[in-house]
Amino acid sequence: MTMPRFLADLPRFVFFTGKGGVGKTSLACATAVRLADAGKRVLLLSTDPASNVGQVFGLTVGDRITPVPQVPGLDVLEIDPNQAAEAYREKIIAPVRDLLPQAELDSITEQLSGSCTTEIASFNEFTSFLADEERIAEYDNVVFDTAPTGHTIRLLQLPGEWTSFLDAGKGDASCLGPMAGLDRTRTVYAEAVRRLADPAQTRLVLVARAQQSTLREAARTSAELAAIGITGQHLVINAVLPKAVSDGESDALAEAVRGREHNAISEMPPVLRQLPLTTVPLHAQTVVGVDTVRALLHTGDTEIATFMENAQHPDLGSLDRLVDELATADHGLIMCMGKGGVGKTTVAASIAIALADRGHTAHLTTTDPAAHLDEVLDHQSIGNLTVSRIDPRVATQEYRDKVMASKGNKLDDAGRARLAEDLLSPCTEEVAVFGQFSHLVNQARRHFVVMDTAPTGHTLLLMDATGSYHRDIARSMGETGTYTTPLMRLRDPDLTKVVIVTLPDTTPVLEAAELQHDLERADIHPWAWVVNASLAAARPSSSLLRARAAAEQPQLERVTALAGRTAIIPMLADEPHGPDALRRLTTSTHQPA
């Protein structure tokens, strides 16, 4: 068996990172099994909220180290980031629960409910498996499923002590000090960061798919981590569609996908071309069970699993049915939300064009920094439709400058450094675009506004809980005043329709379910779900793709259980660029399998 390039001369620690749904967990499991089969003592540790390590090995795995009976020498451990974050919040809030009013406690809780807090809490949990030699002395290799972001690592590198900084009331910027509850010594964190940055000790494996969006994301991650000294990087492009499995087998969809993947790889960002590259072929089987885990990194022919020829997939409906229902009104806000790479821009553009074609005035906008509306629309103008883009970088820089000039003006150099780092958090960008977003929300009272990406429920509650726009208006108007804020409009189901976009795979569906829960905490209830790029809906003839289509069934069933309204878009032979291609997404010819 040929050695995959990313496994050659592997150091003791290996981290897998990448967007949801690219196959991080599967590759981490396959790596751990391969090392154990070679006689190594291996610990596989997951901090992925969508981790299914236990399911892969047929074990009940939690926060205890658990041996894998079928693989001597392999132990596994799952750290639940949400449980870690909850324990982390409780540690901060418990000492002041009886001292502060409930409103302030609610504010602190929401401030510590963002992605930054979850990252820090998770890293706090697994730092010892990177830096505490006593805990890992028996292991030759430690394999991590998901790595900390550059933002998290920069926070750990900051000098000084965060708790006193926050106690003095100086840290209320964006994430509002997720470092406040850390109890480990700076020495431990310094050792963890040192090991991460040492290529002789740590390899970071960037996992992507052969798609432009995930490769762009991998390039951003690579550059961010390289900038803070983590240079021992490899790139793995997973699930690349292989050549026809049997002689004479022909499938137009499969050929189109192969061509698209080839172009994405050949045109990937320059920063990725400098990295050692491994491609892993798409397998028919879902990676469940030790045999399929071992087969994942095998370079031989892909074996086709058995599948139900007449599998009955649930009827999720077509996108045109959702548009018909939206078009019964003459205005409203339609927010297409979801994780990166699921097709939000395509779905938003298709809905906006369909509404414009039905005679409605529509405005299509995006706050997604990776979105390219001009590219999707093929630079063509459409009657009744206007297009804009909120530039998150400009809005965020203006916000940072404002906070540094006000709060930062009262701090010493060390305090300003901490505040500047806090303002680099993912939450800052969402808060920064809220003002421009609010203006568009108001426009939706007169015509349709279709938005590609919007603030998460955490950001909306953060704006409310910290006395920003919503609460400021409430205070100024008093108990007898009448007012309507953007948050109130988002909670109005007659005005706002949230459409969650996902893919028919385990991780994207789980992430979409978490997004729905996050929005519901802000009393915003998604109106519909759209499943994009479904092989089941495309009805391929290739035996490999038919097997993959059959594997979608559990996720499609889960979507129908989670969503009140649904639509499904098939995997397409060509990317839907240009108005005509986008219009075809909202025609009744695209029916589910």
**Residues belonging to the active site:** 21, 23-26, 48, 507
Tell me the C-alpha distance between 565 and 575, whole Å.
25
Would you state the structure tokens that stand for residue 577, as one six-digit string? 């660029």
Tell me the C-alpha distance between 90 and 382, whole Å.
52
Tell me the C-alpha distance between 129 and 141, whole Å.
11
Confirm if 165 and 171 have CB atoms less than 8 A apart. Answer: yes
Tell me the C-alpha distance between 49 and 26, whole Å.
14
Tell me the C-alpha distance between 359 and 428, whole Å.
38
Residue 170 backbone phi and psi in degrees, to 5: -105, 0
Q: Report which DSSP code applies to 384.
A: T
- Please state whether beta strands 66-67 and 74-78 pair in parallel, antiparallel, or not at all (unpaired): antiparallel
Q: Report which DSSP code applies to 478.
A: T
Kind and range of the H or E element at 75? strand 74-78
Q: Where are the beta strands (DSSP E) in 487-558?
A: 496-502, 528-534
Kind and range of the H or E element at 567? strand 566-570
Tell me the C-alpha distance between 139 and 133, whole Å.
10
- Say whether 497 sits in a helix, a strand or coil: strand
CA distances (Å), 583 to each of 323, 329, 352, 388, 580, in order?
A: 11, 20, 10, 20, 5
> DSSP secondary structure string, 255-291?
HHHHHHHHHHHHT--HHHHTS-EEEEE--SS-S-SHH
Tell me the C-alpha distance between 338 and 456, whole Å.
10
Would you state the structure tokens that stand for residue 224, as one six-digit string? 């961010």
